[in-house]
Amino acid sequence: MALIAFALAVGFYAFSPLFSVRALLPLLGMLTLFTISRPIYYFADGGASIHVGIAGSAARLTTAGAVIAGLAMWFFFNRSVGAVNGRLLVPVVVYLGVALLVVWDRTLLQYAGALALLTAVGAWYVGAKTAHQFASNLQMSRLIAWSVFLVVVAQSAISILQEMQIAIFVPTIVDDDTVTGRANGTFDHPASLGKMILLLCIVALPFTFSLDSKTRILSRASIVGSTVPLALSAGRANILAYVVLIALWLAISALRGRLRFKLTPSFFVLVPLLAFIAVIGYTRVSERNESDPFGGSRARFLDVALSQLDNIWLFGVGPNTYVAYFGQFDRLTGVGWPVHNAPLLLLTEIGAAGLILLAIPFAYGTVRAVQRFRGAGLGNDAAAVWVCSMIALYPVVTTGWGLVNEWTFPALMWTFGFLFQTMDEGLHTQFGTKDQPGRTRTGTRGSQSVN
């Protein structure tokens, strides 16, 4: 089914009037990043046991790693795409290399973790380059909207099939109470599906006010369609983050004068549909609350992490070695249960020094977003989405660690690299597209020059 979906995607792009290899490669890379998470090649033998952490038991090339490495090299050597500012990423790359050589123990686990983190850092660069190529062009941005829409539709269809008890993309662990009865889409865990869909919503939101009607409709359809896999995956933090994200986005858009409410026929179709999906989501979440009201032993895992933090807070114990190190002090941790707090997990593994360096792009982007979100252009819309996302993702990163594993972290970094660059692309943009010589389009939103 995944091959069929990709064949359809390639066919769609091939027959699009905007088709070119220059456009096809980044878009297929994006589709891969948000739909497929599989190991491709192992650089070392990590043993037969399953390792639980931000990466596998040994360094390996994953689908995300292959996409990011390939596109990073392609973007780097393809100067026609243009340049983006990657200096914010250099400190954390240097830190990981130096710490791996002189601070940490250079174990197979640490090599695997370092590779996963470097892949995520590279994903930021690839996301930024993708935005530089697509976001500011009124027609090219339609391809981004199409890509998001295709993934949401595919994941929704697969989730519905899984809800109907059709064995498709069966997760590795099927007898776990946290997995049973929940849709997982094309991923190995329901929580990963919810997180990927949430990130796609963040990508789509800046384009919901695009001048191009197709881009606008596709983006809004993706936001609405995302409720299906979110409800069927029954991730409580993911659903809460989605609700907060959309509520904040609507509120900020209204304050910025970007939101115009009209009673149209689609409104009377969407309200019952969303109400039905909400009932399904509520039912799934209620079932989870009955079987797992407190989300496992989160308080215990938090105490374990904090108990040893004084000894390792500066440089950490090394990437991907949380379970190996903290399992010495807690039996449950030792069998494969990391602390369910993404920032704290990174703090224990790469230390305060590494976490601060990794957070530099996010901190800088947040400052810029706060300064820019009040305007009425694409860059301002991206800034507003950034502000909303920083708040909405809080329950996700503080109640779980899935956003920083080797499958999801690259997608997270790609998303915010894309958003970061979109803020720049919209600096000289009014109402969604750059002022460039060309014919003038006049409408209710004002006059705008488009290609």
222-235 confidence digits (pLDDT tens): 999 999 999 999 89
Kindly tell me the burial class for residue 174, based on how many C-beta atoms sit within 10 Å of its own C-beta (0-12, 13-18, 19 or more): exposed
pLDDT band at 185 (very low <50, low <70, confident <90, very high): very high
pLDDT band at 303 (very low <50, low <70, confident <90, very high): very high
- Is the model's pLDDT at 365 over the cut of 70? yes
**pLDDT (0 to 100) of residue 8:** 55
Q: Residue 324 to residues 274, 329, 333, 394: CA-CA distances in angstroms?
A: 44, 10, 9, 27
3-state helix, strand, coil split of the chain in percent (to 5) is 65, 5, 30
Quote the CA–CA distance of 356 and 129 in Å, as a whole number.
24
Quote the CA–CA distance of 324 and 340 in Å, as a whole number.
16
- The DSSP call for residue 419 is H
- Is the model's pLDDT at 449 over the cut of 60? no
CA angle 153, 279, 198 (to 5 degrees): 40
- The DSSP call for residue 51 is P
Mean pLDDT (the chain, rounded): 84
**pLDDT (0 to 100) of residue 451:** 30
- Is the model's pLDDT at 34 over the cut of 70? yes
**pLDDT (0 to 100) of residue 84:** 74
Kindly tell me the burial class for residue 352, based on how many C-beta atoms sit within 10 Å of its own C-beta (0-12, 13-18, 19 or more): middle
- Is the model's pLDDT at 294 over the cut of 90? no
CB 253 within 8 A of CB 259: yes
pLDDT band at 12 (very low <50, low <70, confident <90, very high): low
* Amino acid sitting at position 409: F
Average pLDDT over residues 423-445: 45
- Is the model's pLDDT at 417 over the cut of 70? yes
136-171 confidence digits (pLDDT tens): 777 888 999 999 999 999 999 999 999 998 988 988
pTM (2 d.p.): 0.88
**pLDDT (0 to 100) of residue 430:** 41
Quote the CA–CA distance of 335 and 323 in Å, as a whole number.
8
Quote the CA–CA distance of 383 and 373 in Å, as a whole number.
5
246-285 confidence digits (pLDDT tens): 999 999 988 888 777 666 666 656 666 677 677 777 676 6
Q: What percentage of the chain has pLDDT greater than the value 70?
A: 80
Quote the CA–CA distance of 159 and 377 in Å, as a whole number.
35
Report the candidate in 67, 84, 79 with the shortest Cα–Cα distance to residue 129: 84
Report the candidate in 60, 37, 28, 38 with the shortest Cα–Cα distance to residue 47: 60
Dihedral sign from CA coordinates of 405, 361, 340, 292: negative
Quote the CA–CA distance of 326 and 267 in Å, as a whole number.
52
- Is the model's pLDDT at 287 over the cut of 90? no
